[in-house]
Chain A
Amino acid sequence: MTDVWRFLFEQRWALSLLKGSAVTLGLGLLGMCLGLIIALPLAIIRWRKVRVVGRLVLGYTMVVRSIPGLLIIYLIFFGSVQAVDSIGEFFGFQAAVRSAYPFLMGMLAIGIISSAYSVEVLRGALQTIPEGLIEASKSLAMPRSAIYLRIVLPLMLRNALPGLNNVWQMTIKDTSLVSVVGLGELMRTAALAAGISRSPLVFYLIAGAVFLLITWVSQRLFAVCERHLNRGFLEAR
């Protein structure tokens, strides 16, 4: 036990575990945001029942949700994804793209996975919006953009929050999968430390505890948000 203690603090592995946790959190947050950015237009397409495209979106979510995340990550990391480089070249910061390559790839993988789940959550939330509200705003001659920004999206957000909470819990846990291809997030750091110190139990338990902490704190935050968005509705129910 003293060995582990020395390893953690004298060799400063505690610090790198902390760094790894930060990477995990950043990866989860950015992946979730990317997922939402992809999911919102797709959810609106599904909601408005756009012909053909709506079917394609349904196919996309079905396929991504049936394939293991690990397989998607292998595809993105092993497959020579030159797309990222060419995007970087276009904007003129290829070097930055290269140095952040595993992080960007990880973010892309996590974003794709979480987007498939977010589409369904957002679509469900959109469907609960009464058509009458939209008709009413149309009859007030509100422009389309205003209807979406001021009526549809706020109502959607309130209804989607519990579902998004679930997606977030899943996303933050999925970030651990990126460790298998060597991005230095929490799980990878724990695995390196476990290998070098030869005491895997302690380090994987630490990793588990950090994940528990992250999920617990974010549950609390979601509860606060939910209460905030539902103020004024509670009495009506």
Chain B
Amino acid sequence: MDMELVQQAIPFLLKGAQVTLIIGLFGVLIGLPLGIFVGLVRLSRHRQTAACFSAFSAFFRGTPLLVQLFIIYYGFGQLGFVRNNPLLWWVVGSSLHCAILAVVLNTIAYTSEIFRGAFQSIPIGMVEAAQACGMSWWVALFRVRFPLALRQALPAYGNEVAIVIKESSLASTITVLEITGYAKRLMSETFAIIEIFVIASVFYLVINLLAMLLVRQVEKYLSGGLRTGRKIHI
């Protein structure tokens, strides 16, 4: 390995790591609550609303993120009314905003799927018991259904967080300079493909490792009384 080159590359990749983290943070902070919400709506008795949100989820899970990014960035960027509307242009006009939007929509679709499954797996007796105690729908949701679903969903959600970090790399295709964007630029300038690849990969590994550890800590905390030999698939 060429040490001089490594030294030259690391500051750039560190700058890129900040952008990767920003996209990842938005993905989790907006994606998680909205994903839970969409998951609940998809289970609701309003058939049409549920179907609408299911279609949304199916679209974003059935198409590659790259296609979604290009539709939002190049596709919507072509439309006159988007360009003339300041609010829409604030979103579509900046490549970083586009990347965040696409990643957030994508993770909402997947998170809603995870939580829909988790809510469905709650034994109906638990909910009935809550109702029998006189809990309202909201109280039952916050004190019984949501905590149970969260515990069920966390291992899968941990994977989803890692996926968000990884998928944020696609932002580089619409000129966002995150880790992969800088890596690509450095690769085509210095031709030191392997070296740059290894450093960039280490960055992703570290970020993902930290995210996984964090999710595991939350998981441990939540399953406090229940720590039997449950297997965790990560």
Contact = CB atoms under 8 A, between A and B. Distances in A.
B194 A79 contact: yes
A70 B63 contact: no
Contacts of A179: 66
9 contacts: A67-B201, A68-B204, A80-B193, A169-B62, A173-B64, A176-B67, A199-B78, A200-B74, A201-B71
A66 B203 CA distance: 10
Contacts of B180: 68, 70-71, 74
B59 A212 contact: yes
Contact of A200 (B62, B66, B75, B194): B75
B233 interface: yes
Contact of A211 (B67, B78, B170): B67
B183 interface: yes
B134 to A, nearest CB: 36
B62 A211 contact: yes
A175 B67 CA distance: 11
A71 B204 contact: yes
B173 A75 contact: no
B63 A79 contact: no
Given A79-B194, A79-B197, A205-B75, A176 B208 contact: no
Shortest 7 CB-CB distances between A and B: which pairs? A68-B169, A201-B75, A200-B74, A176-B64, A173-B64, A215-B62, A79-B193
B interface secondary structure, majority: helix
Contact of A208 (B67, B170, B187): B67
Nearest to B198: A75
Contacts of B56: none
A207 interface: yes
A215 B200 CA distance: 31
Interface of B: 58-59, 61-68, 70-71, 74-79, 162, 166-170, 172-173, 180, 183-184, 187-188, 193-194, 197, 200-201, 204-205, 208-209, 233
Interface of A: 63, 65-71, 74-75, 78-80, 120, 124, 169, 173-177, 179-180, 187, 190-191, 194, 198-201, 204-205, 207-208, 211-212, 215-216
A204 B75 contact: yes
Contacts of A204: 67, 70-71, 74-75
A164 to B, nearest CB: 15
A81 to B, nearest CB: 10
A65 B162 contact: yes
A198 B183 CA distance: 29
A187 B188 CA distance: 23
A143 to B, nearest CB: 32
A233 B137 CA distance: 38
A231 B46 CA distance: 35
B72 to A, nearest CB: 9
Contacts of B166: 66-69
Nearest to B200: A71
A221 B194 CA distance: 40
B170 A63 contact: no
Contact of A75 (B65, B77, B194): B194
A212 B109 CA distance: 14
Contacts of A191: 70
A63 B200 CA distance: 12
Contact of A71 (B58, B75, B197): B197
A208 B71 contact: yes
Contacts of A205: 71, 75
Nearest to B168: A68
Nearest to B206: A66
